[in-house]
Amino acid sequence: MNYILNMSKKFRKLYKNTEAGIWLGGKVLPMFGNWNPERIVIIEFETEEQVRNCFNSTEYLKVSPFRENSTITKSVIVNGYLPSE
């Protein structure tokens, strides 16, 4: 967990000019299928454009090899919505 917290601090410092929110998951309780990740990290952006700008930025591309060489990751972009009341 310390690794995730350290990465979260580095991410926040790197992207201090963005509106990204970061949530770090605790124990994962799989319900359906064969997916049983050790941890979940959710990064929230206001727009899909902000996501792409963030992860294609020069700053991120400098540090991304550390993530790529230290873990196996899966990622998705989920477009949210506000349900009607």
Tell me the per-residue pLDDT of 44-58, one tens digit each, with 9 for 90 and over. 788 888 888 888 888
In sequence order, the β-bridge partners of residue 1 are none
pLDDT at 3 over 70: no
pLDDT at 67: 78
Q: Pick from 2, 4, 80: which is nearest to 41 by CA?
A: 4
The CA-to-CA distance between both ends of the chain, in Å, stands at: 38
Residue 23's CB is within 10 A of a number of other CB atoms, namely: 10
Q: Which residues of 61-79 are buried (b: 16+ CB within 10 A; e: fewer)?
A: eeeeeeeeeeeeeeeeeee
| CATH class held by domain 2-28+35-70 | alpha beta
pLDDT at 1 over 60: no
Domain positions in the chain are: 2-28+35-70
Confidence (pTM) = 0.60
Q: What is the pLDDT of residues 9-41, one digit of tens each?
A: 666 666 565 566 666 677 788 888 888 887 787
